[in-house]
Chains A and B, each alone.
Chain A
Amino acid sequence: MKTALAVLRKDLLLELRTLETIPAMALFSITTFVIFHFGLNRPTVDGQLAAGVLTVTLLFAGILGVNRLFVAEREQGGFDAFLLAPVDRSALLVAKAGALFLFLLALEVIAVPAFSLLLLGPSLGPALPSMIAVLALADLGIAVIGTLVSALAVQTRARDVIGPVIGLPLLIPALIATARALGPLLGAHGPAALPGKWLLILALYDLVFALIAYAVFDFLLED
């Protein structure tokens, strides 16, 4: 756990100093909202359409973060250094998933208000508490699967392509659950009740993939 915290601290520090990932993700999401505005030819969206636009945008912005996640380790020998250190290898998974989770949260702090400003018809306020719960669970799923996929893809030659191509199908169930849970919250006539079924599915999905990731991650580091 101490190792994980140390690596997480390193990643956050690196991000704060270089600002490579989060601003790019945020900018990408805002641009995507503009694209959706023109693509859908609508001034505002609500209900399931709004949920879909938001979820898809966050997912694709998240993929940018996934692609960058292990780049520093690969380019600057961080993997070798980590393997040389007498520490538990799963710590890297925890740290990287934690970093990605925090990146996604930071992204949403920017992207969700921007979405509300640019595209969302109904006001954001009343739906916000439930939305935070749904998005936090979704972020957890993207963080876990994203870390695993990023670690898989970073050692391949076509890593920029392989990552999203493997990651997106794996994330479709999470996307379904997130979009369906958010849909009623963003209804045109104020938020409806949060559909508990989707939260449960999302939580289950996160849990199962967290366990799988924990079980197989070590094999991605052996050399």
Chain B
Amino acid sequence: MPTYGKGLRGLSILTFATITVALILVFFYVPLDATQGFIQKIFYIHVPLAIVSLCGFVFGGVLAVMHLRTGDRRYDMRSYVAIHMALIFGVAALVAGSIWAKASWGHWWVWNDPTLVSYLIILLMFATYMPFRFSIEDPERQARYASVFAILGGAFVPLNFIAVRAAQQYVHPRVLTLTGSNLPGPMLLTFLVSLLGIALLYITLWKYEMAAKNARIQLRALRRRLLGDDDLSPLQRSAAPSL
């Protein structure tokens, strides 16, 4: 059984350092936005959070494909943790975006912005992932069905963006387009460092949760060997996979 703790300390330090550098850049290096002023700095947190969480959802879908292809239940666990973390990042991105919207557009929620709306739809869809898992009792079936859900969701992410974006005019500033970046140099640098920091944070937290889940499963296996099946307290039904 693999342990996910390997390299975790180095990764944690790297994440911490990158985020610290990113914050220093955000507050002391990058110039104030000409029109929005100080509040624009939330952009360096909000956008990376949103991008990383979307990538997390797609990552969960890819892991789910691996699960269905190989039948290895550990992929289901990885997929679960990926989506779990992406959901947390997603809620954070939504809150940060809402604050930014209030400050710069004057409303907590703006319907005529496709990026915001498509993001909300994706979050609504993935918010059902946990209740869905929870309401399937058989763990093997839970893993399989959750993988189908994750694949569906992973494919839904880009499709939904296309559909919603076609529906509305752009209010959201386009930061990264297919033709390149619209940001001036210092802002781009700060943004990329922030993106890297948040991405590293995602990976670190993913590894932490995997390590914790893994340790719990191994502990349970050891207890079973020690005490026998009868004396072990039965597993509580949970949305999380139990190998």
Q: Which residues of A contact B (CB under 8 A)?
A: 148, 152-153, 155-159, 162, 165-166, 169-170, 172-174, 176-177, 180, 197-198, 201, 205, 208-209, 212, 215-216, 219-220, 222-223
Question: A162 vs B146: C-alpha distance in the bound complex, in angstroms?
Answer: 13
**Which of the residues A157, A158, A162, A176 comes within 8 Å of B163, measured between beta carbons?**
A176
With an 8 A cutoff between CB atoms, is B39 at the interface?
no
Q: Which residue of A lies closest to B153 (CB)?
A: A170
Cβ A172 vs Cβ B160 within 8 A:
yes
Question: A212 vs B149: C-alpha distance in the bound complex, in angstroms?
Answer: 11
B122: A residues at CB distance < 8 A: 169
- CB proximity of B55 to chain A, nearest CB, Å: 19
Question: A212 vs B131: C-alpha distance in the bound complex, in angstroms?
Answer: 23
> How many residues of chain B have a CB within 8 Å of chain A?
28
- CB proximity of B178 to chain A, nearest CB, Å: 18
B151: A residues at CB distance < 8 A: 212, 215-216
**Which of the residues B68, B137, B141, B149 comes within 8 Å of A166, measured between beta carbons?**
B149
Cβ B132 vs Cβ A156 within 8 A:
yes
With an 8 A cutoff between CB atoms, is B212 at the interface?
no
Say whether, besides A166-B125, A169-B121, A205-B159, A176 and B164 are in contact (CB < 8 Å): yes
B137: A residues at CB distance < 8 A: 157
**Which of the residues B121, B149, B155 comes within 8 Å of A152, measured between beta carbons?**
B149
Question: A11 vs B159: C-alpha distance in the bound complex, in angstroms?
Answer: 31
Cβ B163 vs Cβ A201 within 8 A:
yes
Cβ B136 vs Cβ A165 within 8 A:
no
**Which of the residues A177, A201, A220 comes within 8 Å of B145, measured between beta carbons?**
A220
Cβ B167 vs Cβ A176 within 8 A:
yes
Cβ B144 vs Cβ A177 within 8 A:
no
Cβ B136 vs Cβ A157 within 8 A:
yes
**Chain A at the B interface: mostly helix, strand, loop or mixed?**
helix
Question: A201 vs B166: C-alpha distance in the bound complex, in angstroms?
Answer: 9
Cβ A162 vs Cβ B125 within 8 A:
no
With an 8 A cutoff between CB atoms, is B24 at the interface?
no
- CB proximity of B30 to chain A, nearest CB, Å: 36
Question: A176 vs B141: C-alpha distance in the bound complex, in angstroms?
Answer: 33
Cβ B163 vs Cβ A205 within 8 A:
yes
Cβ B145 vs Cβ A155 within 8 A:
yes
B128: A residues at CB distance < 8 A: 162, 165-166, 169
Cβ B152 vs Cβ A212 within 8 A:
yes
Cβ A157 vs Cβ B160 within 8 A:
no
Q: Which residue of B lies closest to A212 (CB)?
A: B155
Q: Which residue of A lies closest to B152 (CB)?
A: A212
Question: A175 vs B135: C-alpha distance in the bound complex, in angstroms?
Answer: 27
Interface of chain B residues 27 through 63 with chain A (CB within 8 A): none
Question: A174 vs B159: C-alpha distance in the bound complex, in angstroms?
Answer: 10
Instruction: Kindly list 8 other residue pairs between chains A and B, CB separation below 8 angstroms, not including A173-B121, A180-B167, A197-B166.
Output: A152-B148, A152-B149, A162-B135, A166-B149, A169-B128, A173-B163, A212-B155, A215-B151
Cβ B132 vs Cβ A201 within 8 A:
no
The 7 closest A-B pairs by CB, nearest first: A173-B163, A169-B125, A156-B135, A157-B135, A158-B135, A169-B124, A216-B148
- CB proximity of A178 to chain B, nearest CB, Å: 11
Q: Which residue of B lies closest to A174 (CB)?
A: B163
- CB proximity of A67 to chain B, nearest CB, Å: 15
Question: A9 vs B155: C-alpha distance in the bound complex, in angstroms?
Answer: 32
Question: A152 vs B146: C-alpha distance in the bound complex, in angstroms?
Answer: 9
Q: Which residue of B lies closest to A156 (CB)?
A: B135
Question: A173 vs B156: C-alpha distance in the bound complex, in angstroms?
Answer: 10
